[in-house]
Amino acid sequence: MNHTSLLALAADGESSFFKFIVGGGVIGYLIIALSVFAVALVVVHVAIIRRSSILPPDSIRAVRGMLAARQIEAAAAYCADPLNDSFFCRVLAPGLARYLRSPFGAFEMKDALREAGEEQVARLQRSTDGLATIGTVAPLLGLLGTVQGMIGAFDTVATSAVGDSDYYARLADNISIALITTFQGLVVAIPCVAIYSWLRNRIDAYAAEAGALMDEMVLLVDSPVAAPARAPERVA
């Protein structure tokens, strides 16, 4: 195979790839726009939903030390400080505040931690709903493109003679729109659904880890004897 043939094959490959990108028409462009938005959502959520963001080891170590030393007001102020904002502090802050102002102490703290934990977990889960929506809408748009292409193909069959010079070209164009939009919709939807499930599993895992930490914080607050600080948590 000579150099000219190789160049021709490369050009054909680029043309085919380009056709997959732009060959879906208006609906295809909508699916491509959804894919760009989906990539942005994935990047943002991968950065947010990680252990060092949800359960920062520096904050855990600092609060654990304060509670072990019975500095509950200082720990509450630390968690309420916007500079220390994290899932861990947003859950613990209401619990410490309830403990300081309630005569029932640790019992009220447990209720506040449970309520705050459920709220923060729900907040994280809702933030991933965009990916689930794209994973649902993209294949539906692909199906809409399929219907549009098949309507065009049948219209070509009904209104054009087989012998017309552009008959087969028009028929092929409409069928290709039908197939390309389906392909585009699935290519966008499958990764979105998979990543959505992965992120939700991460949220559940970190929520369980946070629950164990909150139990430890309650024990430190409710213990009359100062407990030694443990080794720092590992960072993912």
For CA atoms 35, 36, 37, 41, the dihedral sign is positive
pLDDT tens-place string over residues 96-148:
998 888 777 788 889 999 999 999 999 999 999 999 999 999 999 999 988 88
pLDDT tens-place string over residues 24-38:
788 889 999 999 999
Question: How far apart are alpha carbons 64 and 171 in whole angstroms?
Answer: 70
Contact 78, 92 (CB under 8 A): no
Contact 35, 142 (CB under 8 A): no
Q: State mean pLDDT over 9-23.
A: 58
| pLDDT at 104 (0 to 100) | 78
Mean pLDDT of the chain: 83
Question: How far apart are alpha carbons 234 and 56 in whole angstroms?
Answer: 9
Domain residue limits, the chain: 24-222
Long-range contacts of 136-141 (CB under 8 A, 24+ apart): 136/189, 137/34, 138/31, 138/34, 138/35, 138/184, 138/185, 138/186, 138/188, 138/189, 138/192, 139/182, 139/185, 139/186, 139/189, 140/185, 141/27, 141/30, 141/31, 141/34, 141/181, 141/185
Contact 34, 192 (CB under 8 A): no
| pLDDT at 30 (0 to 100) | 92
* Of 48 and 105, the one with more pLDDT: 48
Q: How confident is residue 164, by pLDDT bands cut at 50, 70 and 90?
A: low
Question: How far apart are alpha carbons 101 and 88 in whole angstroms?
Answer: 21
| pLDDT at 231 (0 to 100) | 46
Q: How confident is residue 190, by pLDDT bands cut at 50, 70 and 90?
A: very high
| pLDDT at 19 (0 to 100) | 66
pLDDT tens-place string over residues 200-230:
999 999 999 999 999 999 988 887 654 444 4
